Structure 1
Amino acid sequence: MTLVDAGSADALALEDRYTAHNYSPLPVVAASADGAWITDVEGRRYLDCLAAYSAVNFGHRHPAITAVAHAQLDTVTLVSRAFHSDRLGPFCAALARLCGKELVLPMNSGAEAVESGIKVARKWGTDVKGVPAGEANIIVAENNFHGRTISIVSFSTDESARSGFGPFTPGFRTVPFGDPDAIAAAIDENTVAVLLEPIQGEAGIIVPPADYLPRVRDICSRHRVLMIADEIQSGLARTGRTFACDHWDVVPDVYLLGKALGGGVMPLSAVVADADVLGVLHPGEHGSTFGGNPLAAAIGTTVVELLATGEFQSRSATLGTRLHDRLRALIGSGVLAVRGLGLWAGVDIDPALGTGKHLSHLLAQHGVLVKDTHGSTLRFAPPLVITEEEIDWAVEQFTAVLAEERAHRASVR
């Protein structure tokens, strides 16, 4: 099945001509979406098993989210933080309660949340811990993905994110992911924070050893260092708990949130911490014109209300078990390994069958949308509204693709 007919070809030609080529998307041109499904300009339907990298956790156009967005469009959408809005306070209060923290710093993108968390940690180090100005360091993990701004790629170990973009921002120390002893060895008197993804997403849905996060929490507490959890992809019910850290009963000093916080409708992110951390910011020291705007805040409040019921966490846990069981049954049939928690799975493909990108193209031809990472890994992260039947269908299509590729490779030997 070809994915590019006349309507798609026109849209792709315009995008290719006028859009910077900083992505390599599948040749699927979305025209509408609902729940876990996307429909292209020719009317073909695809089961979305990527959910915009967890930004669409609650499904495309969730009725409660779109209803509040429509209503807010009729009142006020943006006043900047130069004035107050009736939506910001309720949103921050609801999110603070969900996180068990005292203050919320609203921003827009996930990368903005990470950048803001870095600034807050450095300011906390100077004002509270007494680190000399300009001497703070932050410990990060190898194979991290926290965004693509200059400061963030400065501590990336992915050369495609770094090559040609120097000079880089100093002040970061990189250690292996999953190794708490390496963190302890890297800490000195000027260390202000340890910044980690509880589960590494872009690296291939890498789940750490069971003792990792608890030991990191203990190390940070003993050395008076902030533990910052980047839950932008892993948080907000994706893994079967509100936060991935919850699987290990770990509470970080700072949560970094984004993606699903905007309900798949608006960019919305946040830094969430107690007053002894976020209280280091004063007027004029940090800001964002769109951060916490009334439209995003109204949507964010609705997202928190959806999470407060526990329904989506439960769905992710239960359906995630089904997804992982079905995917693990394919090990030995073209699948080498399956990792993850909840409705989040990294699937390593036998390189003999082709790259992850090649397999993602074949899956799209079968009506299932996933995305590759790190060469031979596919990520499955469907909206949490997906059903058992849809999971089974997606895995059946994946099974068919693997069988077709095995037969094709055998025929050309």
Structure 2
Amino acid sequence: MNQPLAHAQDESVPEFPMPRDARCPFAPPAGLRELHEEQLRDDRPLTKVRIWNGSTPWLVTRYDDQRALLADPRCSVDQRRPDFPYMNPAFAEVAKRGMEPAFLNMDDPEHARIRRMITSAFTVKRVEAMRPAVQRMTDEFIDAMLAGPKPADLVSSLALPLPSLVVCELLGIPYEDHDFFQTKSAVGMRHDADQAEVAAAHHDLLDYLDQQIQARLAKPTDDLLTVLAERLRDGDLTRRQATSMGLLLLGAGHETAANMIALGTTALLEHPDQLAIIRDTDDPQVLARAVDELLRYLTIIHLGNRRIALEDIEIGGRTIRAGEGMVLPSNTANREAGHFPEPDRLDVGRDARRHQAFGYGIHQCLGQPVARLELQVVWGTLFRRIPTLRLAADLEKLPFKYDGLVFGLYELPVTW
């Protein structure tokens, strides 16, 4: 098994994650790109990297190799397995404490059984019915920003409150509680998060959601927490499973979308020719293509999908042994020229639908229709309503989330 190295470490094994270049914040780290180019050039699909605890999982950067492994049932997402390549100490601490995993960290068949319980809430037809409400929310937040002082912080004015309000509507959580769950959720999203602090925040969120689900048992409403409450009542879920699912939906529903709104807006402001295409269109298909291209280009889940091998797996003539961990960074796959010509160029007219920003395989993001809807509405509205929008600080001085599990911005000062 891969154990943390107590003595001298092999300096030829690179550290992961690699640092980003502040001058090129939208690009994957240079060191990671070099490894990717080596794997492509030398037909060498695997490279060892060293993560925070000294263990050395395999780094798999190539698009086709990632898709093969992400679809392989021999690759487990179960973080309770020994030597799983945790993203940070906090994730390891949660697993060590034996907390009930969310279905995101379950393998089939249990993963499929639980995921099916809520799939109907995320069908394209049902999500599309939310468009008028998301449009109204977006306009109201932009109205408030325009009425306020300049410069404004786009993160606190729009990027964070919009997804928070949407997820509150989906789950049935009172919006007045959004400060509580945003603060608590943010603790675990830091790469350097303190283990005790994360455990406490995790407990507080589970306790809050447990109270909400218990309230739905007494008084059902038309929301996702009621769906979980009904499954709990029928014996399909345990109480801890229901609250863990609620926590996953709550955290994933606002953190990723908020960062994507802020980072994508920044990228468009730095590429005015691409911004103009979005601003000047009323074609929903143009907006849909632009959103997928920005998802590909930015790939905010920047620390890689994590897996552990249940059996020996051969890939490209190399073998990943049972019990060995894997890191599969989507940002290299999404910048691979063989699948996306001129991958370092932002081209909102590109057909980028085969990107892996939402993952791939059975664990592909369930909430992606909601994220796409929010991004289409935001970017289809923001630049049309504020055509003179611009950054109010130099790009290199913006507070990017280099320390986050999800890449984005802590603040985005803009003016007009």
Give the helix-richer structure, 1 or 2.
Answer: 2
Q: TM-score, normalised by structure 1?
A: 0.26
Q: TM-score, normalised by structure 2?
A: 0.26
Give the strand-richer structure, 1 or 2.
Answer: 1
